[in-house]
Amino acid sequence: MTPPLHMSLAGQTVDVLRELVLTGEIPPGARVNEVELAQRLGISRGPLREAIRHLASEGLLVLAPHRGASVPTADAADVQALFELRAALECAAAELAASRRTDADVVRLRAVCEESRRAYSAGERFPYRLDLAFHQSLLDAARSPRIAEQVRLVQQRVVLLRSGLRDDPPHQQASLDDHDALVTAIAAGDPSRASDVMRKHLARVCAQMLTSLG
């Protein structure tokens, strides 16, 4: 079974290349050689170029004229700017979620929180997968497709930043608490509190990230 079989070569290449970047197989700072990567993927340069430009539009690659594409490296200012954007989007999403959530949404959010705690207690090394799941569930509850789309793009960039960063257990503990508080505010239908909790949550994550690469 190959779901993306109907996609164009360029479309498939977008997914493949995205994975190569997000997994760090092409590390930050590394340049992308079109001919080399093209024959490595067994395709021509045309579709590969389209995939590269697409990933560049998502911020996972940066283009320099006549110098090709490379994986971006971020400094403190970049992280700050990125998290300001993320806060703008996710705080709004939290507000909308608090306004529009259904009982089913709350159930789902609670389930993700519980599973996160279970995984954390079980000593799982990367419950980050569940962190993404939580934020995704929140976006579902917000029912704002455009905001959801932009959040996904920002989260991707955050994942890129995280690649090659050690995990921080006490920080993860705090995040679990934040998530619970968020669900409580959303379940209570309190937009402003949900927004506030989200803002503080992201401020903490941002601060942790800044110290992790200072």
Partner DNA sequence: ACGATGTTAACTGTCGACAGTTGACAGCGC
Partner DNA sequence: GCGCTGTCAACTGTCGACAGTTAACATCGT
Amino acid at 6: H
| Beta carbons of 69 and 32 less than 8 angstroms apart | yes
Stretch that binds a second copy, among 88-96, 107-115, 117-125, 206-214 (CB under 8 A): 88-96
Given candidates 9, 74, 88, 147, which one binds DNA under the rule CB under 7 A? 9
SS3 content of the chain, % helix, strand, coil (to 5): 75, 5, 25
* Closest residue by Cα to residue 95 from 210, 196, 206: 196
With respect to a second copy, which residue has the nearer C-beta, 50 or 115? 50
As a whole number of angstroms, the distance between CA 9 and CA 11 comes to: 5
SS3 99: helix
Q: Which of 34, 50, 140, 196 binds a second copy (CB under 8 A)?
A: 50
Which residues within the stretch 93-132 sit at the binding site for a second copy (CB under 8 A)? 93, 96
Identify the residue among 66, 125, 146, 166 touching DNA (CB under 7 A).
66
Asked if 43 interacts with a second copy (CB under 8 A), we say: no
Look at residues 164, 173, 175 and name the one whose alpha carbon lies nearest to residue 206: 175
Residues binding a second copy: number (CB under 8 A): 27
Can you read off the two tokens belonging to residue 4? 């993306």
Q: How crowded is residue 151: how many other Cβ atoms within 10 Å of its Cβ?
A: 22
The single residue among 22, 60, 71, 82 that binds a second copy, judged by CB under 8 A, is: 82
Q: Using CB under 8 A, list all residues that contact a second copy.
A: 6-8, 46, 49-50, 53-54, 57-58, 65, 81-82, 84-85, 87-89, 91-93, 96, 144-147, 150
